[in-house]
Structures are given as structure tokens and as C-alpha cells.
């Protein structure tokens, strides 16, 4: 379960999240297989028993997922125990309906009491599982992990920023003052409570402040191309994802070069997803690639904490460029 799905202990999962739906499918189908195995282990008889169980369970499962997804917002406005009772009542109602009237439609049947007991067992296991998982990913634990991940990003960035400002103190004091203001803004964000998602426009502004500091140090060697025409400014993104990627792009793609290099950033919305693509120059024999992989692993974990299976990060390396592609669900900031 992701952070935004279970911000408080004792909360139902987000029934519109792909990762949650996949877990429900796996657990329910696993219990169907276990129920069939309790009756027989012979291959042919097991298949027949599994088909019989599935003829009842699968229609209920599909109807349940559709109904829970439709009522997700309403359920999350209820108190936890009220919402749990509503889910149990829904599952019992669907089980009774399919058991009583689904024979002709689905070929489902069986004893009503047995089916109701099986429904309560599966529902109870799922509720207990998601409750335990929510406690494991409680805000305290999630915050500690996020802070630890962010702490790995800060030292190298701080070192480079201070050196860039020091190099300007005597020759260009006004630019040094502006750089210090940018640095102060950056660290204000770093020290803020970063458990919640932030508007992507805010993250882009933060990234541009970071790049302005690096441009002081690297001069014309650093060139940046932004493509944000199709970016909805109110889309939400985990804080401090874009800036570390740019830091890696500068460190691995620009610093080792004597000639100018270009970092390109594309951010766009496609249907209900946000796509972030960052490309920088690449040398296959370059040093520090292990550090780059560590930073990417940290970002991958942060995306998983926020979005579960609905987010993904992929890297593509060619002979002269390195590309990072991130896909996250499009969530709109509340007005």
C-alpha cells in the first residue's frame, strides 16, 4: 500500500490502486486453490473442484472490485469501522445474490451458508492483511525511510553548491547573492515535511533553481532544454524526485565532458498518467555509475511508497545518451 493510500493506521486501502487490486486477486485466487486442495490433490479432480469454486468466487470478485472502486471515495469518508462494516455487508450481499440468482448467469451455486462463511473468511483475511500492511507502512516508518533516502542526496549537492557560491564571492557578488538565495530556497524545501505529494510546478521551479546554481559552476558546458508545454501545473508528484535526477545528470553526464552537453527534460500528461523523461550525455566507460544506480534505486523506492505498482521508472542507455523515464498516475491537487 502506498503512503497516500494509508496515511493513518486503521484505514481501508485505495480500491482504485492497481497494486491493491492485484493483491486482492492473488489472495482470493490463492484461497480458492487452497480450498480445492483441501478436497483433493488428484490433478483432474482438482481442476474440476477449482472450476466449481471459481464459478462462484470469480463473479463475486469482479463485482466486488467494480463496486469498491466506484465507492472508494465514499468509503474513505467513513470511520474505519463503519467502512469495514460496509465492505463486509457488501460482500455478503453479493455472495447471497450470486448464490441465489447467479446459477443461470454464471453457473454458480452451492450451499448459501457455506458460501457466506467462505465470503466472511476471505473478506476478514483481506481486511486484516491490509490493516497489518498499513501499520507496517505507518507515517512514522514511511517518514523515517523517506528522510533517510533524502539524506543520501544532500551531501554531494551541498558540496557543489557551496563551491559554486564561493567562486563568485569576489568577482560577481550580486550573482553570488542570488545563488545564496536560491540555495536557501532549496534547503527550505529539503528541511520541510516531505511526506505529502507536491505540485509538479513547484518541483520544476525547485529544479530550475538547482540548475541555475550548477550553471554558475559549469558555465556554457551545461545546457538545459525544458519541454513542459503539456505539463499540468497542478499534477502531484513525490517531492525531491526531479532534482536528484538532474543532479545525477550533471554529475555523470556533464562534469566528465570538456565540451558542452545538453540535459533535456520532458514532462507531459498522457490520459491518466504523468510521463517524466530526462536525457543527458553518457559515456559507457564513465566513473561513478554505481552511485547513479543507487540514487535511482532510492527514487524507485520512494515512488513505490507513494504509488505502489502504479508507478514505474526505467533507464535506457545508448552509446552517447542516458535516459530516465518515470511514469506515475495523474493526481490533481485539490483547490
Query: Do residues 247 and 156 lie in contact, with contact meaning Cβ atoms separated by under 8 Å?
Result: yes
Residues 322 and 176 both lie in one domain: yes
The domain in which residue 306 lies consists of 156-329
Residues 229 and 323 both lie in one domain: yes
Residues 64 and 166 both lie in one domain: no
Question: What is the number of structural domains in the chain?
Answer: 2
Residues 290 and 173 both lie in one domain: yes
> Grid coordinates standing for 217?
559552476
Residue 73 has pLDDT above 80, yes or no: yes
Residue 266 placed within a domain:
yes
CA–CA distance, 105 with 46 (Å, rounded to integer): 23
pLDDT at 231: 94
Supply the CATH number for residue 260's domain.
Answer: 3.30.565.10
Residues 119 and 18 both lie in one domain: yes
Residue 235 placed within a domain:
yes
pLDDT at 2: 46
Residues 250 and 281 both lie in one domain: yes
pTM for this model (two decimals)? 0.67
Residue 259 placed within a domain:
yes
Residues 40 and 7 both lie in one domain: yes
Residues 196 and 117 both lie in one domain: no
CA–CA distance, 222 with 144 (Å, rounded to integer): 34
Among the residue ranges 86-90, 101-105, 255-259, 265-269, the one predicted with the least confidence is 101-105
Confidence class for position 227, pLDDT limits 50, 70, 90:
very high
Residues 122 and 169 both lie in one domain: no
Residue 322 placed within a domain:
yes
* DSSP SS3 for 321: strand
Residues 164 and 244 both lie in one domain: yes
CA–CA distance, 133 with 124 (Å, rounded to integer): 14
Residue 148 placed within a domain:
no
Residue 120 placed within a domain:
yes
Residues 285 and 231 both lie in one domain: yes
Amino acid at each position: 500500500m502506498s503512503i497516500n493510500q494509508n496515511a493513518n493506521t486503521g484505514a481501508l486501502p485505495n480500491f482504485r490502486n492497481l497494486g491493491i487490486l492485484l493483491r486482492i486477486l492473488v489472495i482470493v485466487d490463492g484461497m480458492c486453490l487452497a480450498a480445492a486442495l483441501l478436497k483433493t490433490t488428484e490433478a483432474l479432480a482438482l481442476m474440476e473442484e477449482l472450476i466449481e469454486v471459481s464459478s462462484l468466487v470469480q463473479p463475486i470478485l469482479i463485482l466486488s472490485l467494480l463496486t469498491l472502486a466506484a465507492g472508494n471515495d465514499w468509503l474513505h469518508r467513513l470511520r474505519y469501522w463503519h467502512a469495514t462494516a460496509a465492505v463486509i455487508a457488501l460482500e455478503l450481499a453479493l455472495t447471497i445474490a450470486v448464490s441465489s440468482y447467479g446459477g443461470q448467469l454464471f453457473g454458480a451455486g452451492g450451499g448459501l451458508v457455506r458460501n457466506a462463511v467462505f465470503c466472511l473468511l476471505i473478506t476478514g483475511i483481506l481486511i486484516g492483511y491490509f490493516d497489518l500492511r498499513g501499520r507496517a507502512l505507518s507515517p512514522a516508518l514511511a517518514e523515517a525511510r523517506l528522510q533517510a533516502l533524502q539524506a543520501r542526496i544532500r551531501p554531494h549537492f551541498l558540496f557543489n553548491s557551496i563551491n559554486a557560491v564561493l567562486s563568485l564571492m569576489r568577482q560577481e557578488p550580486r550573482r553570488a547573492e542570488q545563488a545564496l538565495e536560491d540555495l536557501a530556497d532549496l534547503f527550505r524545501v529539503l528541511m520541510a515535511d516531505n511526506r505529502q505529494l507536491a505540485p509538479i510546478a513547484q518541483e520544476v521551479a525547485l529544479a530550475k533553481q538547482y540548475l541555475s546554481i550548477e550553471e554558475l559552476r559549469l558555465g556554457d558546458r551545461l545546457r538545459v532544454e525544458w519541454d513542459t508545454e503539456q505539463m499540468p501545473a497542478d499534477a502531484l508528484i513525490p517531492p525531491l524526485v526531479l532534482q536528484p535526477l538532474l543532479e545525477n545528470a550533471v554529475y555523470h553526464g556533464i562534469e566528465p565532458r570538456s565540451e558542452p552537453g545538453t540535459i533535456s527534460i520532458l514532462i507531459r500528461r498522457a490520459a491518466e498518467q504523468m510521463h517524466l523523461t530526462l536525457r543527458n550525455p553518457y559515456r559507457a566507460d564513465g566513473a561513478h555509475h554505481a552511485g547513479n544506480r543507487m540514487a535511482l534505486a532510492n527514487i524507485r523506492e520512494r515512488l513505490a511508497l507513494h504509488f505502489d505498482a502504479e508507478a514505474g521508472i526505467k533507464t535506457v542507455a545508448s552509446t552517447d545518451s542516458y535516459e530516465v523515464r518515470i511514469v506515475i498516475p495523474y493526481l490533481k491537487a485539490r483547490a
